[in-house]
Chains A and B, each alone.
Chain A
Amino acid sequence: MATMAQEFSKGILKENPVFRLLLGMCPVLAVTITAINGFGMGIAATFVLLCSNIVVSLIRNVVPARVRIPAYILVIATFVTVTDLVLNAFLPALHAALGIFIPLIVVNCMIMGRAEGFARKNPLGRSIIDALGMGIGFTLALTILGIVREVLGAGTIFGLDITGTAFEPMAVFASPPGAFIALGVLLLIFNVLYKKMGLE
């Protein structure tokens, strides 16, 4: 049985949802035009993942196996809607920036994947740690990609101009092709890193 520390760290490195498991790709590409948007989406998804893992773990012995998928869908969709409403009320700028990808969190395979693959079979404590690890790993990946695209595409990080006039930003990175290419190159870099760390 893995230790709590291992449950937590696996989501960040060994089983990083984006760089290793290739889950939740749509929002990864879409919202990482700026670092803050990537970060915001990561936090939103982590919130949903955490809440859903908690509930799924709590009800795991009560829900008949054959209806568990619809039940999980109900739970996940509820928390996604809560996130949507709360963001719209208190962080309208982020809500507008993330747009359609907030409701699409409900089909983020990472969340259903953890519910079905982990929270369903594990006690509350472990499920929470698992959610936090995965969520942080996801947020990290989103933020890194967001930083790369923002620096290359606009010359800023989190809105702060860091390159000044010395560097002419390449708008392509703020647009769809740049997203694909940037993520592809990042994946390449991480594949090399993982091999070096012996995690292949």
Chain B
Amino acid sequence: MDLNLGAIIFVAILANNIVLNQFLGVCPYLGVTKRIETSLGMGMAVIFVMTIAAVVTWFIFKFILVPLDLGYLRTIAFILVISSLVQLVEIFLKKTNPTLFRALGIYLPLITTNCAILGVAILNVQMDHNIIQTIVYAIAAAIGFTIALVIMAGIRERLELANISSFLQGAAVTLVTAGIMSLSFMGFAGIMSL
């Protein structure tokens, strides 16, 4: 689609939020959102890794897999790139910025199995984005992810203090909350007519 960058950003963050609309990254959304700081931490890590992963996988797809007619190796290539990337980022951060490493540290290994990273990498390629659109979409999607997480964390911090039946606690009430959030984000869908 010949979308201008503004539309890509708007759609990625609001109208087609990767968590609330496309169901990518639901595990951390349920697992990490007990506190706002941890959500922010995860969000930052995701923005960082998702962008680099999207760019690297895009290059590999466009310049290695497609010319060699190896499209079917896409899944393997992408997931190997992502897990290697996460290892490299960990090592790199440990050496160059120990404070940042300690802040992000625990989230980085979790990111490998974050379907959002692989999902966005595949989406960029499926939507036939050029490199600029890929970068913009990856950053915007990750920001949308972070926003969804932080809002959820804010709500859950409040819920901790509320009196909820023990059967609802944990994932059940989080999911219902997520449903309401998703419903409200659906309001953004009609704004852009594609």
Contact = CB atoms under 8 A, between A and B. Distances in A.
A69 B87 CA distance: 12
A30 B182 CA distance: 13
A129 to B, nearest CB: 24
A188 to B, nearest CB: 4
Interface residues of B, number: 42
A22 B79 contact: no
B186 A177 contact: yes
Contacts, number: 114
A77 interface: yes
Interface string A151-177: 000000000000000000000100111
A93 interface: no
Contacts of B167: 188, 191-192, 195
Q: Is the interface of B mostly helix, strand, loop or mixed?
A: helix
Given A100-B122, A177-B182, A69 B83 contact: yes
A193 to B, nearest CB: 10
Contacts of B172: 184-185, 187-188, 191
A98 interface: no
A184 B174 contact: yes
Interface in B23-39: 23-27, 30-31
B171 A187 contact: yes
B79 A181 contact: no
Given A81-B72, A195-B167, 4 more contacts: A22-B31, A26-B26, A107-B114, A188-B172
26 contacts: A22-B27, A26-B115, A27-B23, A30-B23, A70-B80, A74-B80, A77-B76, A77-B79, A81-B72, A81-B73, A81-B75, A84-B72, A100-B119, A100-B122, A100-B123, A107-B79, A107-B112, A107-B115, A109-B27, A176-B23, A176-B182, A180-B178, A181-B176, A181-B179, A187-B175, A188-B172
The 7 tightest CB contacts between A and B, nearest first, are A184-B175, A180-B179, A181-B179, A184-B176, A177-B183, A30-B23, A77-B76
